[in-house]
Amino acid sequence: MNNRLRVLRAERQWSQADLATKLDVSRQAVNAIETGKHDPSLPLAFRIARLFQLRIEEIFDDGFQHD
């Protein structure tokens, strides 16, 4: 699943470790989400969305195209 996490993080000048601390996960988890190797659970996706004050679909993109 594609996501804008790295861009959003860079805009705030946060390192992966900074974001990991804010989300209470490991730096490896942040890296895995950013590189698309790990899709976050729904609770973690909500935490990410709340942190950036965005909706989940504004951060994550599953590639689905509406008609």
Partner 1 sequence: MMVSNMTDDQIDPPAMSLGTLAMRMFGATVAAVFFSGAAAGLIGALGKEEQVKPIGWVIMGVFAALTLAAFWFAWVSARRYYRENGPLTPRARRATISAIAASGIGLVMGMWMSVAGDVHSQPFDVAAGPLQPSVAAALIAVIVLVIAPITWFWHRNIDEHEEQSYRTGALIALYFYSAVAPIWWLGHRGGFLPAVDGMAIYLATMAVWGVVWFRQRHL
Q: What is the largest CA-CA distance in the chain?
A: 39
* Least Cβ distance, residue 64 to partner 1 (angstroms): 23
Segment (H or E) for 21: helix 16-23
The rounded Cα 39 to chain-centroid distance in angstroms is 9
Residue choice 9, 48, 59, 60 for contact with partner 1 (CB under 8 A): 9
Of 1 and 10, the one with the shorter C-beta distance to partner 1 is: 10
Contact pattern from residue 26 through residue 65 relative to partner 1, giving x for each residue in contact according to CB under 8 A and a dash for the rest: xxxx--xx----x-xx--x---------------------
Spatial separation of the C-alpha atoms in residues 21 and 1, rounded to whole Å? 23
